[in-house]
Amino acid sequence: MKIVIAPDSFKDALRGSEAAAAIAEGWRSRRPDDELVTIPLSDGGEGLTEAVIPATGGSFRTVEAHDPLMRPTAARIGFTGGTHRRAVMEMAAASGIELLKRNERDPLKTTTYGAGELLARLLDGEPEEIIVGIGGSATVDGGAGLLQALGARFFDAAGGELPPGMGGGDLERACKADFSGLHPALRRTRIRIACDVTNPLLGETGAAAVFGPQKGATPETVAELERQLAHWQRLLLETLGKPDLVSDAPGDGAAGGLGFALRTVAAGIPESGAELVLDITGMKEALRGASLLITGEGCSDSQTVCGKLPAVAAETARKIGVPTVLCSGALRGDTAPLEAVFAGVFSIAAGPGSLDDAIAATRANLRRCGANLAGLAQTFAGR
């Protein structure tokens, strides 16, 4: 029997590669002779480079950067193999929420400057295109920090230049922008924005309102961030001389407004991170001849079926005639929409407990889930 194991990351617990390994370990404990194909996936957040680079025979490089609070850190970027001169990065590697302790999360201070450093390093190599995954951010800075790291300059009302590492609370201080010093390779490099978030920059479904609380914002902070981002939007569009440019396109609110900065200033092209990764990793080919696809994510609800990676993977498998099982860290709300897409929907939690306990037990719970699924397969194979 051929089984394809292709989970997303389990946020704050395991990367996709680690989750796939845990499920595979459990399956092998019951059915050691089956053919297991592990393909860690990502929709543009944590684990993007780990999903794409090995699948293409590419190579990793570790570079120095700054974390969301401008502390030195190290992050991995990647270059795909084959004939394409393609580079890959995930902004979360330098500007991700997983780099901060819970008491350090403050979107008024956190910055995408480190993500900009990673992008600048990739641009130095002048690839034909760069895939930028923008999930898992700790920021709501509108991409200000990233633009600074790429050579943009911002000035206050007195003409003083704002220091590197602008956060969400610094946007209104910027009264003038200068993009003349942007990295020269930016103009001739195709930027592909890998993200499945469709939120606009502003409003009730925007970056501040929806994602701000996840990153440490209080209701008062959300209101301040909304005001700061509105000012930032006007400044960038005026500086670009594009008042007629769509100012609030779907995806602009991703990564706290980083999607907006990449689309407008870097001419980035938003794409479905899930579709992009499935294509690059050869998921369709791997599913040929498979009996089952096992996927997973940290938490599943009705939104999972609205374009999130597990559902996109399940649809890909369905077209080939392969059923899909979802192993989730938690199930929330009505599971009927999930059951309409997946052949089986399972929560891996062993019982009531705190979130911290659940995160700590993720690897063991996934292993047990893999073993139990293999046990079911063994039972029905014997009939």
User: What is the per-residue pLDDT across 103-152, written as a single tens digit (0 to 9) for each?
Assistant: 999 999 999 999 999 999 999 999 999 999 998 899 999 999 999 999 99
Query: What CATH number is attached to the domain comprising 255?
Result: 3.90.1510.10
Whether residue 236 is found in the same domain as residue 357: no
Pairwise CA distance, residues 162 & 158, whole Å: 11
Predicted pLDDT at 196: 81
The verdict on 265 and 304 lying in the same domain is no
> Can you give the pTM of this predicted structure?
0.87
Secondary element (H or E) of residue 62? strand 59-66
* 121/228 same-domain check: yes
The predicted structure's pLDDT at residue 83: 67
Q: Are residues 299 and 168 in the same domain?
A: no
Residue 69 and residue 203 in one domain: yes
pLDDT grade, residue 244 (50/70/90)? low
Q: Which domain holds residue 19?
A: 2-41+282-381
What is the rounded distance in angstroms from the CA atom of residue 132 to the CA atom of residue 312?
A: 20
Mean pLDDT of all residues in 369-382 = 90
Rounded to the nearest 10 degrees, the angle between the axes of helix 309-320 and helix 273-280 is 50
- Position 382 confidence tier, pLDDT thresholds 50, 70, 90: low
Check whether 354 has a pLDDT greater than 80. Answer: yes
Instruction: Based on the fold, state whether residues 108 and 153 are members of the same structural domain.
Output: yes
Share of residues in the chain with pLDDT > 90 (%): 78
Domain end point (choices 226, 248, 273) = 273
Is the confidence at residue 197, as pLDDT, over 90? no
Please state the domain count of the chain.
2
Mean pLDDT score across all residues of the chain: 93
Do 320 and 226 lie in one domain? The reply is no
Q: Does residue 303 sit in the same domain as residue 345? A: yes
Q: Say if residue 199 is in the same domain as residue 230.
A: yes
Q: Is the pLDDT assigned to residue 243 strictly greater than 90?
A: no
| 301 in the same domain as 208 | no
Q: Residues 61-104: pLDDT tens digits?
A: 999 999 999 999 999 999 998 767 899 999 999 999 999 999 99
pLDDT at 283 over 60: yes
What lies within 8 Å, CB to CB, of 184 at 6+ separation is none
Residue 48 CB partners (closer than 8 Å, separation 6+) = 42, 88, 89, 90, 131, 133, 135, 194, 273, 277
What number is the average pLDDT over the span 255-268? Answer: 96
Q: What is the domain-level CATH number for residue 10?
A: 3.40.50.10350
* Contact status, residue 4 vs residue 37, Cβ threshold 8 Å: yes
Q: Is the domain of 89 the same as that of 238?
A: yes
- Are 166 and 295 found together in one domain? no
